[in-house]
Amino acid sequence: MNKPAVTRNQEPDNAKAVVKRKPGPRSPRPAARKSAKAPPPLQSNFRRKLLLISLEVLGLVITAVSTIMFMLGYSANWFSGTSFFGSLLPFAIGVLGLILIVAGFLIGWWKLRKWLQDDALIWLPFMSISLALIIGWFVIQDEFTLAFGNFRTLVGGKQEASRVTLAHQVYAAYRRYKSSQLQRLVSRSIEYNPVIEEAARAYGINPNLLQGIAAAESSFMPRDSGDGGRGLFQITLVPKAIMNQVSRRLDVDKPSLLNSRHNAFIAAATLKYYLRQMNNDLFLGLLAYNIGPANGGLRFIMQQYGANDFVTIQPYLQVLPRDYPIRVLSYSLAFRIWQKEGKLLAYEEGNNAIRIQRLGIPGL
């Protein structure tokens, strides 16, 4: 006998089994980070170290170079002469001693740097700059001026010896002038200084140099002369190219020699022209300016006699053109002294000679 099938209660198909998970141990929360100071940027540290090292090196270089120049100049004067045992050998020994002293100083400085270790970065630049300042104070003293002059002669050789000889001719000419004479020139120049300075700026020439030319040419009394000179600078023959150049610069059809401004521009342009022609030799440039283009000019005269500088051409010239550069530069020196010192200094009084030589000759 068939029994009816027993049916079980079935769960619906869409029912999902719920799985319960046991709670696991909680992971500990990360502890709050402590705020720490950020280290200084590497770039800032590098710049600081570079600056301090640069100051240290700069101070050492200034100290070493100034000391070497002074010692060599002083030794050149002390051991001057041609005797082997009396001059040449002692000077050579002195140079060797100077090299050893400088080497010892640098070695000692390096050991001091190692000994100071971390403090070296601060102390050594301070010490180096202090040495440079001490040397700088010594440089402005008269003894260094004399030693530096001897050093220039030592290195410059024949050319520097010629320059020194000519410079002392200028100083001697200034010494011979009467103070009242120079004072009158300075007073007369005041009226014309603005146009002279303008012309000097236009052509890149020292204004004291142009003042010296005007003093030598017209004594700052513009006029027409019997030799054909006209105006403030007593302009005579001027190359046509220079006149055209000045016309363009002044924006005029033709410069007037009676106009002091035009006259000054023509003089400055002419001097610049002859300086270029004489390879910027100041004495030869002034001499060529004075001689002008007549008889082929100075360059032709020098080629004719085989002269190559002012010293060798002097014997072939007459007194007036030969002394012209000396007169111009001695007047220029007077204007520089007046400009720098506010008064004219008597060359032979006290230490004025050294002071004047330190001021230097304009353009030289």
Q: What are phi and psi of 105, to 5 degrees?
A: -65, -45
Cα-atom radius of gyration of the chain, to the nearest Å? 40
Q: What angle do CA 242, 245, 250 make, to 5 degrees?
A: 125
Structure token digits, residue 275 = 């300086």
State how far the Cα of 236 lies from the Cα of 296, in Å rounded to an integer. Answer: 15
Four-point Cα dihedral 258, 262, 268, 272, nearest 10 = -110
Which one is the CATH code of 162-359: 1.10.530.10, 1.20.120.80, 3.40.50.460, 3.40.50.300? 1.10.530.10
Q: Report d(CA 149, CA 71) in Å as an integer.
A: 12
Mean pLDDT by 10 residues, the chain (364 residues): 47 47 53 51 76 87 87 83 82 88 88 79 85 84 76 74 85 94 95 96 95 96 87 89 92 92 95 92 91 80 85 78 90 96 93 90 88
344: region left, alpha or beta (phi > 0 left; psi from -120 to 50 alpha): beta
Half-sphere exposure (CA, 13 Å, Cβ side) for 65? 8
For the beta carbon of residue 95, count every other beta carbon within 10 angstroms. Answer: 14
Sketch the domain layout of the chain as residue ranges: 45-140, 162-359
Residue 291 tokens read as: 């001689």
What's the CA gap between 336 and 328, in Å, rounded?
A: 12
Tokens read off for 54: 């640069």
Separation of alpha carbons 64 and 295, rounded Å: 53
pLDDT at position 23, please? Answer: 54
Cross-strand bridge partners of residue 223: 231
- Please give the Cα distance from 251 to 233 (Å, whole number): 21
Its pTM stands at: 0.68
Report yes or no: 168 and 357 within 8 Å, Cβ to Cβ: no
- Across the strands, what pairs with 231? 223
